[in-house]
Amino acid sequence: MTISKRDAIRAQRTKKKRRQRMNTILWVGGFIVVLTLLLASPSIYNALKPAGEFVRITPEAHPMEDGKAIGNPDAPVVIEIYEDFQCPICKEYTLVDEDKFFDSPYIADGQVYYVFRQFPILDDASLVTRESYQSANASMCAMEQGRFWDYHDILFANQGVAENAGAFSDKRLQAFAESLGLDMTAFNQCFNDDKYSAEIEADYQKGRAAGATGTPWFYLNGTLISPGYMTYDQLKTAVEAAIIAEGNQ
């Protein structure tokens, strides 16, 4: 059968369009693959790279330790502090002022119940890594073994200079736990299963509902007393005022 010149031209055009369409599909597909690899590469790198050197701590006794709280659960004054382990201001507060408060008589005398709330807000700016969440996850698994506050301390001692840059990679979080002498089989099972995700989310949502938008965020008996850093003296003043108010009721 003889093909007319018009049919031949039409067939040639159809073939060209199909080739162009296929090239477009291949180009778009290749772009998506490259983009996916670029986005995934930080998390892959962080998951595979060794833990490296890190600051080891000497565990200290924490008075009246109760999970991720310290003090008397029936105390008239309850302090809740919302923190993100990647937050540099939280680190400064922990190293400078928190220990002073723990050494004060308020907790030992049963007047204050001090509660740490998980608020991993700094992951919000990251497309891939979730080091705020994973450090919270690891701290809860340490809590399961009665070592939340030791793990809390080693996290802040090893906070990175930049957020979501590998300071709290999974391997480092596991190395922190091992350095504290935790049962690593139990820790890894807990960590990999994301066992305390509901509790972390509950803390986060409680903070959001209370109006927290950053860290550290301080509440005393449910009332916001500082949207940001509090010195020991400021915290002490707030606690003493609350104790007096409770005594006058």
Element (H or E) spanning 36, and its range? helix 5-48
Indicate the average pLDDT of the chain.
88
**Residue 15 pLDDT more than 50?**
yes
CATH of domain 65-247: 3.40.30.10
Could you state, in order of their start, the residue ranges of all structural domains in the chain?
A: 1-48, 65-247
The model's pTM is 0.81
Ramachandran category for residue 228: left, alpha or beta (phi over 0 → left; psi -120 to 50 → alpha): left
3-state SS, 148-187, equals HHHHHHHHHHCCCCCCCCCCCCHHHHHHHHHHCCCCHHHH
**Residue 201 pLDDT more than 50?**
yes
pLDDT tens by residue, 67-83: 999 999 999 999 999 99
Cα distance between residue 217 and residue 233, in whole Å: 16
Residue scoring higher pLDDT (236 or 15): 236
Cα distance between residue 160 and residue 139, in whole Å: 17
Q: Residue 11 — very low, low, confident or very high, per pLDDT cuts 50/70/90? A: low
